[in-house]
Amino acid sequence: MKQVGSAPVQGSEATGSRPAGDADELQDLADMELVYRSLEDALSGLLEWVRSELAVDTAAVLLLDEDRGVLVARAARGLEEEVREGVQVPLARGFAGRVAAQARPIVLDDLKTADVVNPILRQKGIRSMVGVPVHVEGRVIGVMHVGSLVKRAFAEEDIARLQLAADRAAVMIDAARLAEQRSVTEVMQRTLLPDEFPRVPGLRLSAKYLAAGSGIKVGGDWYDVFELPNGRMALVIGDVVGRGVTAAAVMAEARTALRAYLIEGHGLREAISLLNDLLISLGRNRAATVAILELDLELGEIDAVSAGHLPAVLVDGSGSATLWHLPQGPPLGIAYGHRYEGERRRFGADDALLLFTDGLVEVRGEVIDEGLERLRGAAEAAATGEYGSLADRVCWALAGKTAFEDDMALLAVESMPLGPVVEITLEAEPGVLVGLRRTLGRWLADVGAGENDLFDIALATSEAAANAIEHAYGARRATFEVRCERRGEEVRVTVRDEGRWRASRSNGRGRGLAIMQGLMDSVELDHDEHGTTVTLVRHLDAGSA
Amino acid sequence: MSAVPIKRVDGVRVAHPVGDIDAANASQVERELVESLDPDGDCLVLDLHETRYLDSAALDMVFRLNERLRQRRGGLQVVIPDSSPLGRLAAIVGLPKVIPVHASVRDALARCSQDREARRDSEPPPLIGGIGEPDDSRHHCGR
């Protein structure tokens, strides 16, 4: 008995300690299957034991489907058709239904005179039955019953042994359910949190995600970072109320819809309002809090909207941290048609920002302000550290002071100065051009270029990059490199790819080359068997700065 | 959600793209502009005062759009404020030689109505009053 009973528990432990990675998703599915199959096997093994111990002809386990108020046959011995035919017994009706509703053992000495819903019991010729409830933490989750083909008076001792077996079944079922929910939730979360962050020069991103404890506590916390079509960065932190698969599913909907709205080009205020209305119209009975920020590294500004989410923590270049109470609208999913307001503020080089969910700051029995103050202190302590990422250091600084009783997500955003030389590797697709121009704009402003210089150099570089992208046409995941350097009054940009030079395909008239030549002091093209390098040089115009 | 807000001023479509037009979105912008054209629309104002960058792909698109309007015996009017660096870019690719460039939307609209007057004077009256020329109705069916 020990042997069969241990299978689902081992399975659930195995799902809890896997390393992350693509192949793991297959493993997750296999684990879930294992959990399912081994539960059936384990219960069948248990029922076989019951059948011989009690010298009965049939033994079955039915599990309660709480949503529908019915008991569903899940495993059986001597009565296999009950499972095969998916027998369902309404709660409080029939034999099993009464056992579940009354949560106590019931003995039927003679079926001929009893109320029995399930026709299979009669067809089998069962004369006498005993049923006991299967419960977990005082809640009935199912029924185990045995039957005899000959009329029989079951003794108290028989009932006690059957209850023992039912308790054993309860442990198996509970463990299997937890493992199942956890696997589903973990797979969803791993799929939904970003695998890697966008790589943008002068922007450092780090994150921490902790799933509290074990089992179905895993919740609907999420964060997201992606580049907007205007070249700015969208930063998202959110928390769906509740835990388990449903919370994770609502999180998935919210995250996906929000990305879609923002990538379509809706502004923050519009996107959050649309998301709120969408969640309400989908009829999800779950509130969620979310904060959405748009970071403009070039202007050194950050814009924020919030639906009932916690404040953010801002850390300035001197390492001093303050709470940023984001403009508050109601949590998502409550007030249909609400128009959310936003707030913009400075966010320059050396500034950092922490976005987080309540698991990072909440400690039972404490008001939230204490947790926020503790985090603010931790952010100051973490600001100057050298090891790990900012998100790591914040968690280290909180270790021992916060129990991490709930799930928590932490997203740390640092704006870094670009320095005198910038080197960027970009994917060869046109979507990168806008981000490249924004990064160049930021760097050129840092090195003291005026407005005209900035426009000309950024656009000429973008043209050279567009050529590199065309050279890579058809190649899979090709990249190219951009290097920018200031030497005295001169800015030198090189754009290097691994393709062969050719004039723009789109117009065949080399308009791109004409633009580069018109905007820069010199344009050099070098191409060899390794690729093409475009070198652009421009003397900064002292008068325009 | 459209990439380019387009409004109608005095019966003329005025498009004012905000931000950047480049190889990533030029074809979408072009599609939206073409779709916005009325069957009898002979004039389109492209107001670039809130446009930050146009790259060569975007400029190709502007030239193509002008060609399309010229086939309808109309034209594209481009607005680039004097303060915008886009003026220098336009000069480099010879845009003002082909497409009228104005400092304000008002100037562009004035030019549209001038062109209309000139066209009305130089052309025979329409066959069916008020509906337009046979050419225009063909465009109508195409939409």
The confidence band for A346, taking pLDDT boundaries of 50, 70 and 90, is very high
Query: Token digits for A233?
Result: 């960065």
Return the CATH architecture of domain A2-186.
2-Layer Sandwich (3.30)
Q: Is B56 in contact with A452 (Cβ distance < 8 A)? A: no
- From chain A, the residues in CB contact with B93 under 8 A are 511, 514-515, 518
From B20, B24, B56, residue closest to A511, measured CB to CB: B56
User: Residues A456-473: what's their mean pLDDT?
Assistant: 91
CB contact under 8 A, A462 and B92: no
Segment holding B106, helix H or strand E: helix B105-122
The answer to whether the beta carbons of residues B48 and B79 sit under 8 Å apart is: yes
Q: Give the start-end residues of each E strand in A311-373.
A: 312-315, 321-324, 328-329, 342-346, 352-356
Q: Characterize A230-243 residue by residue with b for buried, 16 or more Cβ atoms within 10 angstroms of its Cβ, and e for exposed.
A: bbbbbbbbbbbbeb
Phi first, then psi, for residue A16 (nearest 5°) are -80, -20
Q: How far is A188 from chain B (nearest CA, A)?
A: 29
In this prediction, residue A3 has a pLDDT band, given cuts at 50, 70 and 90, of very low
Q: What is the mean pLDDT of residues A130-150?
A: 93
Q: What ranges do the domains of chain A cover?
A: 2-186, 193-415, 421-544
Write out chain B residues lying below 8 Å of A433, CB-based: 20, 22-24, 55
Question: Which of A434, A454, A509 has the highest number of chain B CBs within 10 A, making it the mutation to test binding with B?
Answer: A434
Chosen from B4, B21, B22 to mutate, greatest number of chain A CBs within 10 A: B22
Mean pLDDT, chain A, whole residue set:
85
Choose, out of A227, A298, A433, A457, the residue to mutate when testing the contact with B (most B CBs < 10 Å): A433
With a cut of 60, say whether residue B137 has pLDDT above it. no
Query: From the list A434, A504, A511, which residue is nearest B22 (CB)?
Result: A434
pLDDT of residue B135: 47
CATH T-level fold of A421-544? Heat Shock Protein 90 (3.30.565)
Please name the member of B1, B22, B88 whose beta carbon is closest to the beta carbon of A462.
Answer: B22
User: Looking at chain A, which residue has its C-alpha nearest residue B26?
Assistant: A430
The predicted pLDDT at position A505 comes to 52
Residue B65 has pLDDT above 70, yes or no: yes
Contact A512 B22 (CB under 8 A): no
**Res. B140 pLDDT band, cuts 50 70 90:** very low
Q: Say how many Å lie between the first and final Cα of chain B, rounded.
A: 20
Tens-place pLDDT, residues A224-255: 999 999 999 999 999 998 877 788 888 889 99
Cα–Cα distances (Å) from A184 to A68, A135, A212, A248, A282, in that order, read 22, 24, 16, 9, 22
- Closest residue of A to B5, CA-based? A265
Flag if B85 and A511 touch (Cβ within 8 Å): no
Q: Would the CB atoms of B24 and A518 count as touching at under 8 Å?
A: no
Query: Tens digits of per-residue pLDDT, A259-314?
Result: 999 999 899 999 999 999 999 998 877 899 999 999 999 999 999 999 999 999 99
Q: Which residues of A touch B95 (CB under 8 A)?
A: none
pLDDT tier for residue A172 given thresholds of 50, 70 and 90: confident
pLDDT-derived band at A501 (thresholds 50, 70, 90) equals low
Say whether B92 and A431 touch across the interface (CB within 8 A): no
Compute the average pLDDT of residues B8-14. 88
Q: Which residues of B touch A274 (CB under 8 A)?
A: none
Q: Are A392 and A208 in contact (CB under 8 A)?
A: yes
Could you tell me the strand order of the sheet in which B6-9 lies? B6-9, B12-15, B43-47, B75-79, B101-102
The minimal CB distance from B92 to the residues A452, A506, A514 is found for A514
- Put simply, the answer to whether B23 touches A231 (Cβ < 8 Å) is no
Of A437, A506, A514, the CB nearest to B93: A514
CATH architecture for residues A193-415 = 4-Layer Sandwich (3.60)
Are A11 and A34 within 8 A, CB to CB? yes
User: What are chain B's domains?
Assistant: 6-124+132-142 (3.30.750.24)
pTM for this predicted structure: 0.69
pLDDT at site A134: 95
CB A130 within 8 A of CB A146: yes
Taking CA atoms, what residue in A is nearest to B57? A506
Q: How far apart are the first and last CA of chain A?
A: 83
For residues A311 and A372, the answer to whether their CB atoms sit within 8 Å is yes
